[in-house]
């Protein structure tokens, strides 16, 4: 598993590549949790376009991160779910729990818009 972390505007972007499973779940949780301190409230996009396999350990980390972000008043969006991951989210009903966008760019644009409200003109 490769984890690429970046900051774009008020958003932390985590791009995952490879197998999101028992062997990589703890590292993803730890690294992404540390990165959440970069923005307040935390705005997080997890791009899963290049994730080949996601198991229950990966799903558990995503639920953990969602709870951590929302407890701090932030928002988490997932993006780029491929066929296997999309199917897994559907059969576990997590597609109803998570906000999912087709691309990271759409997710980032949405959170950037929320994180940068228009200036007060009163």
Long-range CB contacts (< 8 A, 24+ apart) of 71-75?
72/36, 72/40, 72/41, 72/42, 73/41, 74/36, 74/39, 74/40, 74/41, 74/42, 74/43, 74/44, 75/41, 75/42, 75/43, 75/44, 75/99, 75/111, 75/114
pLDDT tens-digit series, residues 26-74: 999 999 999 999 999 999 999 999 999 999 999 999 999 999 999 999 9
What's the predicted TM-score (pTM) here?
A: 0.92
**Euclidean distance between the first and final Cα of the chain, in Å?**
49
pLDDT tens-digit series, residues 22-38: 999 999 999 999 999 99
């Amino acid at each position: 598993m490769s984890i690429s972390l970046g900051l774009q505007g008020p958003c932390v972007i985590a791009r995952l590549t490879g197998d999101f499973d028992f062997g990589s779940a703890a590292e993803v949780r730890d690294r992404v949790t540390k990165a959440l301190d970069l923005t307040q409230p935390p705005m997080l996009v997890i791009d899963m376009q290049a994730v080949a396999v996601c198991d229950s350990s990966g799903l558990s980390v995503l639920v953990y991160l969602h709870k951590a972000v929302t407890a701090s008043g932030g928002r988490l969006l997932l993006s780029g779910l491929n066929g296997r991951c999309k199917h897994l989210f559907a059969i576990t009903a997590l597609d109803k729990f998570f906000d999912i966008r087709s691309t990271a760019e759409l997710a980032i644009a949405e959170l950037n818009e929320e994180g940068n409200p228009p200036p007060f003109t009163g």
